Amino acid sequence: MSDTPPLILASGSPRRLALLQQIGIDPDHLIPADIEETPLKGERPRALASRLARTKAVTVRRIADADSDLARALVLAADTVVAVGSRVLPKAELTEQAEACLSLLSGRGHRVYTGLAVALPGSGTVRHKVVETRVRFKKLSRREMDDYVASGEWRGKAGGYAIQGLAGCFVVKLAGSYPNVVGLPLYETATLLASAGYDVRRLWRDPLKIPA
């Protein structure tokens, strides 16, 4: 019998779940963290990503600690922030937000930060790190921006775009982790979980259990 603890993913993001499943990690529970995500006054993008990930992990850790069936589980949380300089772009929900994001990203570089946090059971320990990827967009025409906004793909996405979708054809340069831009850097996530005692390759040894 494996000593690997159960895993809770503190997110309702289908993209993060799919990325974990891509490397054979299938969380035992999905418990989205409901927290306030507004940046603090003067808060830098990297610090924001770190704080939100840690806050999500701690929030769900409290829920797990109050449930005997979840108490020994690890809690994995993440938050992705897109920034141009020190300016944090929103998770676009309105057409006007998407248009503003695309105008700002057009023809220039930006940075994507994902904060990762793993809250361990019992000890109150939260292990965390931030991963940065640099991305540059082509110069977008008015028609390209209008067509992308019409697609609706941007809705709910940090920075108003999804690199794994239609917006992939806007990217002319990327330095760093591609899955980080999607929402979860896989190497760093696997390393953080392994350091917390989670056997990240346990399903590899039983191919029938690897998520499809």
Residues serving a catalytic function are 79
Which tokens go with 86? Answer: 């020190």
* Closest among 209, 156, 196, 190 to 20, alpha carbons compared: 190
Alpha helix stretches (DSSP H) within the chain: 14-22, 45-65, 95-105, 142-151, 178-182, 186-195
CA separation for the pair 7, 10 (Å, rounded)? 10
102: number of Cβ within 10 Å: 23
> 59-82 burial by CB neighbour count: b if 16+ within 10 A, else e?
bbbeebbeeeebeebbbbbbbbbb
User: Beta strand 74-84 with 7-9: parallel, antiparallel or unpaired?
Assistant: parallel
| Tokens 């300016």, located at residue | 87
